[in-house]
Structure 1
Amino acid sequence: MIKLNSKQCRIYRVRVNDLEAPFLYNDPTLEVCHHESKQRNLNYFSSAYTAAVSAVDPDAGHGELVIKVPSELWKQGDDLKVLKVYIEFSLDQPKGGLHFVVPDVEGSMAERGAHVFGSCDGKMKIFSCHRFWFPCVDSYSELCTWKLEFTVDASMVAVSCGDLVETIYTHDMRKKTFHYVLPIPTAAPNISLAVGPFEILVDPYMHEVTHFCLPQLLPLLKHSMSYLHEIFEFYEEILTCRYPYSCFKTVFVDEAYVQVSSYASMSIFSTNLLHSAMIIDQTPQTRRCLAQALAQQFFGCFISRMSWADEWVLKGISGYIYGLYLKKTFGVNEYRHWIKEELDKIVEYELKMGGVLLHPTFSGGKEKDNPTPHLHFSIKHPHTLSWEYYKMFQCKAHLVMRLIENRISMEFMLQVFNKLLSLASTASSQKYQSHMWSQMLLSTHAFLKSISNVSGKDIGPLIKQWVDQSSVVKFFGSFAFNRKRNVLELEIRQDYTSSGTQKYVGPIKVTVQELDGSFNHMLQIEENSLKHDIPCHSKSRRNKKKKIPLMNGEEVDMDLSAMDADSPLLWIRIDPDMSILRKVEFEQADFMWQYQLRYERDVVAQEEAISALEKFPTPASRLALTDILEQEQCFYKVRMQACFCLAKIANAMVSTWQGPPAMKSLFTRMFCCKSCPNIVKTNNFINFQSYFLQKTMPVAMALLRDGQNICPKDVLNFILDLIKYNDNRKNKFSDNYYRADLIEALTNSLTPAMSINNEVRTVDNLNADVRLILEEITRFLNMEKLLPSFRNTITISCLRAIRQLQKNGHIPSDPSLFKSYAQYGHFVDLRIAALEALVDYTRVERSSAELQWLLSMAQNDPVHYVRHKILGMLCKNPPFTKTTDSALCNEALVDQLWKFMNSGTSHDWRLRCDAVNLYYMLFGLTRPSCLPLPELGLVLNLKEKKAVLNPTIKPELGVGAPDPVSLGVCGVGQPPQGLKRKADTPLGSPPEPGQVLQQQDDDGRGARYKIRVRHEDIDMETVHDSQAFIHHHLNLLERPSTPGTHTHTHTHTHTHTHTLIAEYRNTHTHHCRGHYIHVTSYKQALDNKKKPAKPGSVRRTSTSAGRG
């Protein structure tokens, strides 16, 4: 048998070595739960989906397409004979894999910019979906060389992986065929295609690099790609290895699945990344995307993974070298800020959702000890993962690589990467020795072995802590200074009992800034140790005038009047290098946080100090934050964060605040005319740090509130003046992001409307200030119609402002405006903003109509990305949750979502996982509460030959406990451990997720069977179908059992039938769906036929109308 992956493809014929070969096609993921049971719990679906994906898993040797090799070929007896498989197939209106963009305008296909491209997830490398458009072994571990031919219209260009060797026109010159050859062994998921009327740009710095874009975008393409060669040079320099392919192609398309998709020797980007030289904000984002794509060319495309369990290695390495590029291009401050952001994201996710496991271990095809019981999805396959989980997986992987670097040094780390690339390059040149290609597949074991060989260091404990285990560490720190002993008594506690936390034992670095300098201390966190004594090097001498040395060697003058006279401590930091995946909550005095903010040069320390000062609304904190805002040497993102902290402190000090509103005088001094402080200077964004600060300060100022919790009048007038006098005529850069932020400032100034006698709000009776805001928003929207801004940033801000006006009761809530902007045809960012407002409207107004409208769009919108975002926004801002009651929660909604994720998303792995997330958010793991209770049933005891009415069904259990309703089994009699089941679930249903059929001896009576459900046993001898029993006769047990085969005929109206058959020589049959059931006790069956069949002989059959 030859098993291949193929979805959506219509297979016409298959030949193996020119011989016709029979084949079978079965795709169990088309409909996950085949039978028409009333199961609606997510535990059941998750297990069924995992089983369906496992059944076609190429890494396990499975596939949807099974080809039987003709017997003539086996008779030749040549084990090394090459089998050539020829498959004739077609794609008819594919829903996934390939995405067609055909603008609805006049003109030919080329004039309309129609194009098609592989719409798989090429950046995250999570969903291998190439089976959607051609039969293949859709695995990252199966390598081969490629010859690709694409025949397209003469006006089109086909771009694919490898070298373009020739282009041949047909005789009538109406079509042409592109021939590509990829001699480097490559997995099918790293192959892609793009066809369209592309304009072509050969990179002026590297002629082997070619760029493709849609018509009329060539000027933007030239600017956006002008620095790509610098990224090439950086990676080749640090890796001491040349780019592995002979060429590189970048293709920019519309309606991209993700912003960046990397494939062998080519990357597909979203057109939205292109920008002109006038745009500031988009430039770093585009550079980052290019750097990510190129990093994955080395690790992800050229070097692939051995198995799914090794995915973390490739994501970690590519993310790590991408971080090195950030440090080189954007500076150390930006790099450390990014690391802190990534660390905060993974910590927040794991503490909220549970641990992220990088290297899950599996045995026997099943998850070992269920490594992630806290999740509502399986991590055994990438196709069952939540998209958000995988993003956190990727984030954690590169953070762990950084921890490895801290352990072995960057020099050794880069040597390991070079060794891996060198071995892969050597292997790729072995054209006729494919067994050597395994060097191009990277496993966790091989990676750790390379580290050991190169560095000679054992990182086993680190891997065990952060790779083989999930969760993060949560520290709580406090201290006391012992003056007599001149010792810092530091207490570090851990919380390792909460969700997503683990216990840490090992070294931790503590930095103490004293009067005589900064000192590092390595402490050992032991099992039971909490307190640590740290000797101080300084003694209190605050009255002595002396400069204080900092960690970076700089010496500064400090005003020590605020510090404790008896203590030499200025500030303390726990794990300043972020060498542990942790959250630290440290307690120190407010003046210590203020000193840390002012004088610590590390941006992470400054950001931590700003966050801590929010709890200390004092004049000293206000002064420290103001000083940071005025420091031009300070990292601009720290200053931006300080703006919002200062606004919070000002609001907490509103009763004692003196002087002008916070930041107003500073903004006036920095950006306004000296002769007329209310008029802002003509825009000049040549200084990017000042530009970002100028954008941020009005947004933060608008959050200020007076004693009546209203934005101060002079602040609102000041923002309106900034809009009024904004002048960008002499500026070389666009001000669209600046104007969008001014609209956001207006939005932030809004407060709930004060209603008198419940009067209906109209435009006529608007508050004067609100009227001014609404007029400005209307003017901006009208201007955008005439002259749209880059990426419609201003319109997006206006929509958010209108939604905020509605929520605060200033104007009537109406979704029609947002619906119009959410329609297909608008720019994607604008659509997402409108949909976000609709999701919020649905939650606030509890609108069933709008929820249905959103779900309909999630199912039918032409753009994959928009469908994905709708479900993601509904998960983040759900109309209701499993813990709340809502009129929106009803049986129809349950059925709609269930059918959507069960059979409506088979063409899009990501969308199906999004639908699962939404179902979990709304209804939880167990049976939705809005469904009607199971009907009454009978409990049947064969031993006593009694039928007892069962008026109560056991309530569903929480997560982690067996769920009787969802298990589909019925326990009987007096034993308390007997589990009950839904009355409408047939006895003959197949074993449900988590059930294992096993043999058990029972007092010498012969063999009987048990179902093991997680950790509980249910005797098959006590499992019966009460619902079917109701439809038959209560005296059925009085009838004698007849040896032999018993058959009852019943017409089934269901499309799918599943039967669980326990085979004996005496046939023991249950008709699942019919109104009749024949029950023969196992003991009686054994008495009739002495020897049972082989224990555990279970056959599961599935037939579907219209399917072979």
Structure 2
Amino acid sequence: CVLGSVCDWEVLYQRLSFDIDLSQRSITAVTILAVTAHNTAPVGDPKTRKNQPNVPTQHGRLYLNCSPQVNIQKIMVDGVETEFHHRRFDSENNSLPDQRTFPETEFLADPPKLSDFRSLDAYDAAFNTYLDWFDQGELCINIPEKVSTKEPFSLDAAELPADTLNSPILVVIRYIIENPSGAIEFTQPDERVARSAWAGFAITEFSNSSSWFPCRNSHWERYSFDIDITVPSTYRAFCPGRLVKVSPANETQTKHTFFFEVDDPILARNMTFSVGEFETVDDTALNGTLSIHHCMSSGFAQRDDFMHTVTCTNEIFSLFSDFLGQPYPFSTYTQVLLGRTASDVQSFSNLTFISADLIHSDAVIDQTWVARRTIAEGIARSWITHTVHTRTLADHWIIEGLVGYLVAMYIERAFGRNERRLQRQMATDLVVKLSSLPWTLPISAESYGAPSDIHSTHFRTKSTIVMHMLADLIGETPFRDVIRQLISDDDELSSTTDAGQAATTSIPSVNQGTPLAVVSDKPSTGGSARGISTKRLLKLCRHRSALNLDDFCDRWINGVRCPILKVDAQFERKKSACKVKIEQSGVVMHGILKVYVYETDQQVYEHESRMDTQVESFVFSCHSKVRKNRKRFSTETGEEIGDDDDLSNGEEEVLDGDDGSSGEMGPDDRIGKKLKNDTPVRWVRVDPKIAWIRGLTLDQLPLWADLELRHSPDVIAQIEGAICLGRALLRGVISAQRGKEKDPMQTLMAFNALKYCLENPDYFYQVRVVAAQQLALCCRPRKLSGSDRQLSVLVDFLKSRLYSAPDRQLVEPSDFSDFSEHLVVRGVVHALTSVKVSGSGAFPLSHQSAMDIVIDLLKYNDSSQNYYVDGYYISSLLNSLSELSTRNQSYQERIHNEIIRFLDNEQLFPSYRRVVTCACLLAIARVQVATYRRNLPVSRPEDSSMRLGMELDPIDTVPPEQPTAQHEIPGSDFDLLAFTEDPHSPSVQVAAVAAAAEVAVYRPSMAILIANALSKQRSPSIRLRMAEAWASTWSHVVLDSSSPFESYETVSARPVVDSIWNLLTGPFAFLCHRFRIHMWVVFAAAFGTSTPKCLSSECLIKDRDILANKSMQKLPNAVRRSAALIRQKRTHEVQFSIKKKKGNTKKSDYMKATNETPSTVNMTEDITMEIL
């Protein structure tokens, strides 16, 4: 809490009583709070009110958080009816008409109407005033004078006897919720929607709990709960805590009531409920000490599929219990799989909501990774959020980091160490990418506009990475001991807090004849528990490792920007040393960077390199020596195979493939070659343990990269070696085309190494996919129907595995029995479609062989004899199909026909989770993007966003002798937003918004239609996921392109500004702060944080007036946010320095091609979308 008056009453206990009517979408409820006087110190004493010591205590009024959709009927205090004031927001202007009725808020400013301005800077300044009111509480309850609180308000607290203080009183609130527009999801059976059933549940996150019951929305105030829920007799109810009993609610027994008790104090945001028609399966874990309940909406899926999905639960509990050194803090654990959820997983104490879309059979092998990771995250979050209590919101990254660390442990247990390493490298690359966004905040910052900011992908991902870095820094065993000590310290702190004593009073509940009684022995932490802080965590780590972690905290916890490292490693023969040059682009970081040199004596030498400037060069002497008559060793086994006499005489060799040969290499050709760059160094690695959050591009000798790819046990090292070989091969191909090739032997070695990696099943599947990507990047056919050896390798690889022998003309039936090989085939198809041939226009065109293969695989796909489901395979092919670029009208129609054919087939034979429909919508969107791009000037053709979709050359770039066809591209008039309504499944509706958002980048009017679709959406969960998809799509467009929203700067974009702004300031944004943050990102991506250029000067004046308002700058949240931003800027200036390049140097084609080489790990598209 920020304001002191909120803390003048401490909540000891709360009871909730609900009578839920799903058919009427209404809840009749009664809540009882046992509260006691708090902050009884004299005015001016800073010990009890640090924020505002001069504000007198206000025990005559009780403030609670309560949403406007909660319609309060009556409030009683100790049996006496009292007056109350419930502040409401006008749905149009978000005004506060009755704000002056709060006596303690004279120092707060009147919140301005958010609809009066259009700048995000002004919006943030104005919204601070709303946050102040939220912190104060929307519901003010007058405490009647007739109620005896055993504390005379006219006397000083010091004059009262000790036993008369903190005597609790009971506050009874009766209210009704009808047709809620947020925080509560109701689903009803619909004949048009498959697998729909009666269900209702609460979407509770940080500040959402007050949207369905009055409470305290603080991050530190915990107290006990009792919940009883009355539903029809055919329904079941689930809540956090333990189920005490189930009893009939009326004489006819048409309804029954579920009674739950939460003995341990929890936060209000950890409360939720779920009611409906459920199927339940009971299980046990941890040697029978833990009862597990698996619940699924009735009839949603087959029971065998349901059990196959949740079969990993016992293994997860055992793994987490061994690591944390303690049993699960509750005696029961319940996971409910629901049809419509705001996210794949939501955890509340010992209850977890999981998306029922994750239910799959053993035939849907693609979903196994996602489902198990989601279940592990739900268990980890349930465990950690209850055992680890953070002190402030700035310390919440500790919880997110621990949850991510535990999930990574399970990924290693279930899928292997390579998968865990790969996921960590991918997460690092994602954080580096997202850190460049202007609205990205540190993970430990007090400058959040609302707690929902910490739901961002950057926050969750970076918190996990920082926790991994801490574990690597101090060691896994000491890190485990630190976590155990944190949990034990927090448990001791919670157990030593004073337990609140509440009086026992019988009050009639919603159900006549059923009394409510407040339990007197319920514990409460109130505001006395301090919790765990970032400082405490780093202190324990420092004691375990004797390391100074101040720089670590400033860089990665309090900092945002991440460096991009470009490393060049060479060998100096005169000095017999390895020279490593490291360049930091953009952001310059100061600190120690570790470089590892692997030498031929089978030793690894670690060197600590100090980075102080933008470019640093280091020379490391080699311990091994190069002999003049060096023995010959096998690159496969490392064993000596012969004398130096058998080596070649050093004459130049013809590059295989250039003399008309096939360029294939036999087993004996990979050994015994004497290269001019034969050195004592095997390979070099920079920061292999990922001690820095950085982007990395490593360029070393091809021989070193070859040895790294063949002999390194680390999957990330193998990928780095493959990328380095691809860069060397690209240099050789470009030089050969220009007739200036210097070392064909190195080019041949790089080609053979990549080909060997692609065809060798012993490599990890993702390493083989990266090798295919490097070969595709080096393809340089001169004609659309031409070929070269790189392209031939990819085409031959696909035909050997997907086409029937001997002529390789017919597509074989699908077979996914070797799933690793199947994933490689997907990656090779995607790599082949990325091969482009320079055409006569501005945009490159796809190779003819790539188009023929992808179209054939879709057209002749046969999975009748395949045990596994092919939905994800077809989805991957459709994504590859949408990336094809052609000017041939025949190919355009074939591509369009395949997309529409699969879209129509989905109506009769729906795929799992409708993944094929989602892929079709994305493909159609890319076709439409190509249509709108034809008349746009191409400023940066190398942008990834400029290579999306089936493309035609723009009219102004086609040579005069080749007139442009005047036909319309198929699919340009397809209505994507027609799929955002029922009866389409939630995943299809969200995919339709994501696809339409891509089109909206080039067609501003589409953004208005998207905003209208969000406004009409009745489901709060689907609306939130739509907003998240919109924000994610536009954020990636900003990252991948330069000035992508130029069409939004014209005057005609004014309706777009208004439509997005109405969502940002509308009632949905106040009911769900996550929705508000997503819409904030959407507006910032298109128009920036200042006043949009398309608006008039009047809006600019209003925005400046808001920013120049000094009274608003003195408000509590504004002061706190400003101070946090100043500290963040100060930390940034100390740790980083920005280097701006002088002038624009023209790069050669070789440099352009080299910079396009990916330096990060790429995943298959389906896994990437699940993580994002």
TM category, shorter:
0.7 to 0.9
Change (3 A) 1:554 1:402: farther
Q: Report 1:105-504 matches (<5 A).
A: 105=191, 113-121=197-205, 127-169=206-248, 170-203=250-283, 208-216=291-299, 217=301, 218-353=303-438, 356-360=441-445, 378-379=447-448, 381-383=450-452, 385=453, 390-425=456-491, 433=499, 441-452=531-542, 458-495=548-585, 498=586, 501=587, 503-504=589-590
**2:1130 corresponds to:** none
DSSP-derived class of the 1:442 partner? coil
**1:64 corresponds to:** 138
Q: Is 1:861 the equivalent of 2:947? A: no
Deviation at 1:798, TM superposition (A): 2.9
Deviation at 1:578, TM superposition (A): 0.8
**2:684 corresponds to:** 572
Whichever structure has more helix as a proportion of its residues is 2
DSSP-derived class of the 1:661 partner? helix
1:548 and 1:406 map into 2 onto residues whose CA distance is 34
**1:740 corresponds to:** 875
CA contact (8 A) 2:230 2:257 kept: yes
**1:665 corresponds to:** 796
Query: Alpha-carbon deviations, 1:303-332, whole Å to 9, x = none?
Result: 332210110111111111211111122111
CA contact (8 A) 1:881 1:921 kept: no
Change (3 A) 1:966 1:564: farther
Q: Report 1:693-732 matches (<5 A).
A: 693-705=824-836, 710-723=845-858, 725-732=860-867
Q: After superposing the two structures, state which structure 1 stretch, 594-603 or 148-157, moved more.
A: 594-603
Q: Report 1:539-938 matches (<5 A).
A: 539-541=625-627, 544-547=630-633, 559=671, 561=673, 563-565=675-677, 567-616=679-728, 617=730, 618=733, 619-620=747-748, 621-651=750-780, 657-658=788-789, 661-705=792-836, 710-723=845-858, 725-748=860-883, 750-753=884-887, 766-767=889-890, 769-806=891-928, 807=930, 808=951, 811-844=969-1002, 846=1003, 848=1005, 850-862=1006-1018, 863-864=1022-1023, 865-874=1025-1034, 876-877=1036-1037, 886-887=1049-1050, 889-904=1052-1067, 905-934=1069-1098
Deviation at 1:386, TM superposition (A): 7.7
CA contact (8 A) 2:577 2:621 kept: yes
Deviation at 1:183, TM superposition (A): 0.9
**2:185 corresponds to:** 99
Change (3 A) 1:991 1:440: closer
CA contact (8 A) 2:228 2:257 kept: yes
1:919 and 1:565 map into 2 onto residues whose CA distance is 54
Change (3 A) 1:926 1:82: same
CA contact (8 A) 1:29 1:52 kept: no
Deviation at 1:88, TM superposition (A): 1.6
Deviation at 1:853, TM superposition (A): 1.6
2:882 and 2:1095 map into 1 onto residues whose CA distance is 41
Letter in structure 1 aligned against 2:1062? K
Deviation at 1:625, TM superposition (A): 1.8
1:193 and 1:689 map into 2 onto residues whose CA distance is 41
- Give the RMSD, CA atoms, in angstroms: 3.6
Deviation at 1:449, TM superposition (A): 4.0
Query: Alpha-carbon deviations, 1:337-369, whole Å to 9, x = none?
Result: 0110011011111134376412235xxxxxxxx
CA contact (8 A) 2:183 2:212 kept: yes
Change (3 A) 1:818 1:263: same
- Structure 2 stretches of 5 or more lacking a match? 1-60, 96-110, 152-159, 500-522, 642-669, 734-746, 931-950, 953-967, 1117-1122, 1127-1172
Deviation at 1:200, TM superposition (A): 1.0
Letter in structure 2 aligned against 1:573? R
1:522 and 1:855 map into 2 onto residues whose CA distance is 55
Q: Which residue of the other structure, out of 61, 73, 76, is the alignment partner of 1:12?
A: 73
1:524 and 1:658 map into 2 onto residues whose CA distance is 41
DSSP-derived class of the 1:267 partner? strand
CA contact (8 A) 1:710 1:751 kept: yes
CA contact (8 A) 2:306 2:360 kept: yes
Deviation at 1:380, TM superposition (A): 5.3
Letter in structure 2 aligned against 1:420? L
Q: In the comparison of the two structures, how many residue pairs are matched?
A: 905
TM-score by length of 2: 0.71
**1:1106 corresponds to:** none
Deviation at 1:252, TM superposition (A): 1.1
Letter in structure 2 aligned against 1:152? V
Deviation at 1:455, TM superposition (A): 5.5
Query: Alpha-carbon deviations, 1:113-136, whole Å to 9, x = none?
Result: 121111234xxxxx4310110011
Change (3 A) 1:547 1:3: farther
Letter in structure 1 aligned against 2:238? V
Query: Alpha-carbon deviations, 1:664-696, whole Å to 9, x = none?
Result: 222333454444533344433222211212333
Letter in structure 2 aligned against 1:667? L
1:842 and 1:17 map into 2 onto residues whose CA distance is 57
CA contact (8 A) 2:779 2:790 kept: no
1:85 and 1:555 map into 2 onto residues whose CA distance is 82
Q: Report 1:1067-1078 matches (<5 A).
A: none
Change (3 A) 1:599 1:215: same
**1:522 corresponds to:** 607
Query: Alpha-carbon deviations, 1:44-95, whole Å to 9, x = none?
Result: 11011123113322xxxx3212223334434545213122222122212222
Change (3 A) 1:301 1:968: same
The structure that has the greater radius of gyration is 1
Deviation at 1:435, TM superposition (A): 7.5
DSSP-derived class of the 2:175 partner? strand
**1:45 corresponds to:** 123
Query: Alpha-carbon deviations, 1:1060-1087, whole Å to 9, x = none?
Result: xxxxxxxxxxxxxxxxxxxxxxxxxxxx
DSSP-derived class of the 2:1090 partner? coil
TM-score by length of 1: 0.75
DSSP-derived class of the 1:798 partner? helix
DSSP-derived class of the 2:385 partner? coil
1:241 and 1:649 map into 2 onto residues whose CA distance is 54
Letter in structure 2 aligned against 1:842? A
Change (3 A) 1:564 1:659: closer
CA contact (8 A) 1:493 1:530 kept: yes
Query: Alpha-carbon deviations, 1:124-171, whole Å to 9, x = none?
Result: xxx431011001111231111211100111121111111111111121
Letter in structure 2 aligned against 1:214? S
**2:738 corresponds to:** none
DSSP-derived class of the 2:792 partner? coil
- Structure 1 stretches of 5 or more lacking a match? 122-126, 362-377, 755-765, 936-955, 957-963, 970-978, 982-988, 997-1011, 1016-1108
Change (3 A) 1:28 1:79: farther
CA contact (8 A) 1:861 1:867 kept: no
Q: Greater RCO between the two (CA within 8 Å, min separation 6)?
A: 2
**1:1036 corresponds to:** none
Query: Alpha-carbon deviations, 1:466-485, whole Å to 9, x = none?
Result: 22333223334334533333
Q: Is 1:2 the equivalent of 2:73? A: no
Query: Alpha-carbon deviations, 1:987-1042, whole Å to 9, x = none?
Result: xx78354799xxxxxxxxxxxxxxx9x99xxxxxxxxxxxxxxxxxxxxxxxxxxx
2:1044 and 2:926 map into 1 onto residues whose CA distance is 23
